Each structure stands twice: as structure tokens, then as C-alpha cells.
């Protein structure tokens, strides 16, 4: 039974009243659907008194068919003929709508399902669009959606100065525990944006609620986010992208499966057997594309048993450290350009500093793992508490 109504559901019930008489630019992807599975592009195109003048697609495109870090070009929406602009092209400038693309609009509407991790790029796209709306004098409306991994747990380090990027566009932890509507309120206030912002909230969602409890069918927000279980491990799982280990792309369980040829997965599982909220399984898999295409990999699949105790960032950081320790001759950090940036390297952009990479490199033996993990987590705790205080005034769902 569906328990939660999204901001879009409430907009439809209100007969699009906040958008009446407006020329609308819509930031959308496949998740931009109401409770009847109708896409907002189609709804606004047919809505009396509303003019859908432009559609903007974040990473992976409006229809969500582009793989990670694949640039998408401008086109026209296939069903409506409305101009569809890509917010993920060939360079950093493509991440922000241009003044020309926004010309003639009255309001930008953001309705994209986020997954609760700072480096999932949709929140950064929202921030860049808010800044562009300020420059062009447009109103900004966020149709809020639940955070699929809950709103209580905050985890991981904050982005430090000099490490800003598309996967770290704002000084917040890896797992922030906020909805996009709440983030929009924070962005506007802390960046002092001169912007008329409206957030249309969800109803029926509370901070302790995970996705299965919402009753909302899961629509993959990107090609490698197939299930809400993927979203649960993603705050840690995405860190694998910063290495030459496979993050499971090319399998049916991306970010849940990870590994490489020749890894001793059983040893890693044994070293982390006391991990809270999850059971670890030594697994074999063969990616059909991406890293190690067609090769048999050995790795680990965490099975989350208690999401309230599971700490994905801690676990995956420890698994990366153990994989590096076990395979020093073959383990490498990813050094090619990542999200349009070559320096700092990918793993530092993902963590938001070089500290965690250096700590991973400092692990000299499994016997020191317990003390090493304590040193890893210690500064995160104060950062998480600081962010919890910062976010409090922007929370819509107490």
C-alpha cells in the first residue's frame, strides 16, 4: 500500500496552481512520475494554463539511457517536441544551463529522485540550476521526494576546500540524510541566493523511513541504480570508482558486488566479519562491460541485514584498504580524468580530501585493522555532528 505522496503528486492534486500562467523549464529524468506512472513532461505539456517551454536532463539524460560519465547532446523530447537540453555534456560548462537556454522562462522546476549520497550528481545539478535561476531572475520550484536510505544517518567526511567537484559540489558528508527539498533550502540560505524558492513537500514520509516502507514503486534513477538496495550500499560502494577494482558495473548488482581477478575475498570477509548491520559473502562475478569485461572476478557482496546499523562508507573504505593491502602489485588508484577533473584524483574527489586515501595507504597489516578503523572514523564523528547542527533548521520532516 502506498503510504507516501511526493511533491509531484501534490502538484497534480492542486491542478498545477503554482505554475499557472508560467513558462516552465523542467529538470527531469525517468523518475519524474506521479502515482499513476505519468511523466511530468507529458502532464505539463497537456496542463491547461501551463506552458512547458524546455526540458533539462541531468547526468544519464532525460530518459535515463546514458551510462555514467557519457555526455549527452541537446535534442527535442520525442513525445512532446519540446526542446530538451543536456546538463551533462563534454565539459564543466555543460553542467549549468546557459542564459540563452533559460531565456523566456518564468520558473525552473526540479523533480528528480535522489539517492541520499553527496556524490550522486543530481543534487549538484539542482544547485547549479538554482544559481543559474538566480542570474536569470527565475523562480525555482522543487517537487520533493523521499530520501530512499532514510533521513537519520549522517556518515562520512565533508568536502574540504580545494576538493570541490561535481561529486563534491557542497561542504556536506557523503551520506547527508536529507531530501532534495531540504538541500535546496540549505543551499539558498547558506549561499545567500537571491532566489524565490518554493518546495512542495512529500506527505507521509518520516526520517526513519526507508524506501520499501514508502509504497512507491522504484524507478531506476540511473542505469546502475537498479534497486533501493543498491542505494543503501552506494554511499560506500561508489568509492570503488576511485580504484581499478570493479564496482560491479556490467553485472546485475552494481555497487553491491565489487572485486577484481585474483582477490582473496574469503580473507576480506573474515577480517570484517564483525561489520554491523550486514553479512559479507565471498562472490565470483564476470562483468559484461566496464572494468574487467569478460573476466572472472573475486570479490565481496555485502547483504544488509539491519539498515539502521549499517555504515556503508566505513565498510567499503575498510574493504578498499584490505584489497590494496592484499594486492599491492596490482591495486591502483584511478588517475584518469574523473567528472571533468584530473587533479585531485578521483578517490580524493569522492572523499572530499586526500586524508582517507593516505590513511588507506598507511594500513600495513590486518592485525592493525581495528585501530586503523578507529583512526578513520574519529574525525568523521565531529564533522557529522557539525553537519547535523547545520541542517536542523532546514529539515521539513522532523
Which CATH code of 3.90.1150.140, 3.40.309.10, 3.30.200.20, 3.10.20.30 fits the domain covering 228-332?
3.90.1150.140
How is the chain split into domains, by residue range?
7-223+390-394, 228-332
Q: Which residues pair with 56 in a beta bridge?
A: 27, 85
The three state secondary structure string of the chain is: CCCCECHHHHHHHCCCHHHCCCEEEEEECCCCECCCCCEHHHHHHHCCCCEEEEEEECCCCCCCCCCCCCCCCCEECCCCCCEEEECCCCCHHHHCCCHHHHCCCCEEEEECCCCCECCCCHHHHHHHHHHHHHHHCCEEEEECCCCCCCCCCCECCCCCCCCCECCECCCCCCECCCCHHHHHHHHHHHCCCCCCEEEECCECCCCCCCHHHHCCCCCCCCCCCCCHHHHHHHHHHHHHHHECCECCCCCCCECCEEEECCCCHHHHHHHCCCCCCEEEEEEEECCCCCCCCCCCEEEEEEEECCCCCCCHHHHHHHHHHHHHHHCCCCCCECCCCECCECCCCHHHHHHCCCHHHHHHHHCCCHHHHHHHHHHHHHHHHHHHHHHHHHHHHHCCCC
* Entry pTM: 0.95
CATH class label, 7-223+390-394? alpha beta
Distance (Å, rounded) from C-alpha 335 to C-alpha 322? 20
Among 38, 60, 12, 22, which Cα is nearest to 140's?
Answer: 22
Which burial class, exposed, middle or buried, applies to 77 when counting CB atoms under 10 A from its CB (0-12, 13-18, 19+)? buried
Q: Which residues pair with 55 in a beta bridge?
A: 26, 84
pLDDT of residue 66: 45
User: Could you read off the pLDDT tens digit of each residue along the chain, which spans 398 residues?
Assistant: 568 999 999 999 999 999 999 999 999 999 999 999 999 999 999 999 999 999 999 986 786 454 454 444 557 777 788 999 999 988 999 999 999 999 999 999 999 999 999 999 999 999 999 999 999 999 999 999 999 999 999 999 999 999 999 999 999 999 999 999 999 999 999 999 999 999 999 999 999 999 999 999 999 999 999 999 999 999 999 999 999 999 999 999 999 999 999 999 999 999 999 999 999 999 999 999 999 999 999 999 999 999 999 999 999 999 999 999 998 889 999 999 999 999 999 999 999 999 999 999 999 999 999 999 999 999 999 999 999 999 999 999 98
pLDDT of residue 104: 97
Distance (Å, rounded) from C-alpha 107 to C-alpha 133? 8
How many Cβ atoms sit within 10 Å of the Cβ of residue 44?
Answer: 23
Among 9, 351, 302, which Cα is nearest to 157's?
Answer: 351
Sheet strand arrangement including 278-285: 258-260, 297-304, 278-285
Q: Which residues pair with 25 in a beta bridge?
A: 54, 108
Distance (Å, rounded) from C-alpha 398 to C-alpha 396? 6
Question: φ and ψ at 23, to 5 degrees?
Answer: -95, 115
pLDDT of residue 79: 78
pLDDT of residue 89: 86
pLDDT of residue 70: 46
Q: What angle do CA 300, 301, 303 make, to 5 degrees?
A: 140
Which burial class, exposed, middle or buried, applies to 277 when counting CB atoms under 10 A from its CB (0-12, 13-18, 19+)? middle
pLDDT of residue 69: 44
Amino acid at each position: 500500500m502506498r503510504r507516501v505522496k511526493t511533491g509531484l503528486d501534490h502538484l497534480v492534486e492542486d491542478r498545477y496552481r503554482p505554475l499557472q500562467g508560467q513558462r516552465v523549464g523542467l529538470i527531469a529524468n525517468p523518475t519524474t512520475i506521479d502515482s499513476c506512472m505519468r511523466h511530468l513532461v507529458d502532464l505539463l505539456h497537456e496542463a491547461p494554463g501551463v506552458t512547458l517551454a524546455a526540458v533539462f536532463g541531468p547526468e544519464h539524460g532525460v530518459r535515463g539511457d546514458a551510462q555514467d560519465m557519457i555526455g549527452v547532446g541537446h535534442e527535442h523530447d520525442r513525445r512532446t517536441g519540446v526542446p530538451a537540453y543536456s546538463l551533462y555534456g563534454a565539459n564543466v560548462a555543460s553542467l549549468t544551463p546557459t542564459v540563452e537556454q533559460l531565456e523566456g522562462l518564468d520558473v525552473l522546476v526540479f523533480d528528480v529522485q535522489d539517492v541520499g549520497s553527496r556524490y550522486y550528481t543530481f543534487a549538484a545539478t539542482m544547485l547549479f540550476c538554482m544559481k543559474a535561476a538566480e542570474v536569470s531572475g527565475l523562480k525555482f520550484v522543487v517537487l520533493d521526494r523521499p530520501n530512499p536510505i532514510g533521513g537519520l544517518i549522517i556518515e562520512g567526511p565533508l568536502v574540504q576546500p580545494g576538493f570541490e567537484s561535481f561529486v563534491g559540489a557542497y561542504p556536506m558528508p557523503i551520506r547527508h540524510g536529507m531530501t532534495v527539498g531540504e538541500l535546496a533550502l540549505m543551499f539558498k540560505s547558506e549561499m545567500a541566493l537571491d532566489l524565490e524558492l518554493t518546495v512542495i513537500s512529500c506527505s507521509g514520509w518520516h526520517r526513519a523511513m526507508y524506501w520499501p516502507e514508502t509504497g512507491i514503486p522504484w524507478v531506476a534513477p540511473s542505469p546502475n541504480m537498479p534497486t533501493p538496495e543498491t542505494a543503501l550500499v552506494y554511499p560506500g560502494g561508489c568509492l570503488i570508482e576511485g580504484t581499478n577494482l570493479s564496482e560491479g558495473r556490467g553485472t546485475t548488482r552494481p555497487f553491491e558486488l565489487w572485486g577484481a581477478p585474483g582477490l582473496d575475498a574469503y580473507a576480506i570477509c573474515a577480517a570484517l566479519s564483525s561489520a554491523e548491520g550486514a553479512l559479507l559473502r565471498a562472490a565470483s562475478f564476470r562483468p559484461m562491460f566496464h572494468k574487467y569485461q569478460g573476466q572472472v572476478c573475486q570479490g565481496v557482496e555485502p547483504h544488509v541485514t539491519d539498515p539502521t546499523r549499517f555504515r556503508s562508507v566505513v565498510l567499503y573504505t575498510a574493504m578498499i584498504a584490505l584489497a590494496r593491502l592484499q594486492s599491492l602489485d596490482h591495486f591502483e588508484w584511478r588517475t584518469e580524468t574523473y567528472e571533468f577533473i584530473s587533479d585531485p584524483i578521483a578517490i580524493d574527489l569522492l572523499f572530499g580530501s586526500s586524508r582517507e586515501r593516505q590513511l588507506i595507504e598507511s594500513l600495513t597489516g590486518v592485525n592493525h585493522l581495528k585501530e586503523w578503523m578507529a583512526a578513520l572514523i574519529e574525525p568523521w564523528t565531529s564533522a557529522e555532528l557539525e553537519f547535523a547542527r547545520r541542517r536542523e533548521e532546514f529539515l521539513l520532516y522532523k
